[in-house]
Amino acid sequence: MKQFLLVFLGGGLGSVLRFWMSKTLNPYFSNFYFGTFSVNILGCLIIGFILGLSMKNDLLTQNQTILLTTGFCGGFTTFSTFALEGHLFLKNSDLVHFSLYTICSILVGIIAVTLGLWISKLL
């Protein structure tokens, strides 16, 4: 039951931070959902870093890892919003921005996870 509460608390915090970042950053970029993109990439970096720390010398407990990965990162990042924004690009026949947004989100996301794991190894 404790782990469910940890996921709930972490997810709530992550969701609030995602909402704030999207509302703050999206209006500055009219043809690109930079807030959502930033949240997803930052979430990839964070989850890579946290998982790297948890694997390295048991630096984090299982509960801390669940709170931060499943909870916080799960609430913070959002595939559903990414998919909706991709749909909006397609609906507007904006194939250039759809392609750029999709490719950048996936490739930079994978790079961010890798970077997070690498950074955790340096500590």
Write the pLDDT tens digit of every residue in 10-61. Answer: 999 999 999 999 999 999 988 889 999 999 999 999 999 999 988 887 889 9
What is the Cα–Cα distance from 35 to 114, expressed in whole angstroms? 21
The pTM of this model reads 0.85
**What pLDDT is stored for residue 123 in this prediction?**
86
What is the Cα–Cα distance from 40 to 73, expressed in whole angstroms? 9
What is the Cα–Cα distance from 23 to 32, expressed in whole angstroms? 13
The token pair at 83 is: 């998919």
For 5-22, the pLDDT digits (tens) are: 999 999 999 999 999 999
- CA-closest candidate to residue 101, choices 42, 46, 47, 40: 40
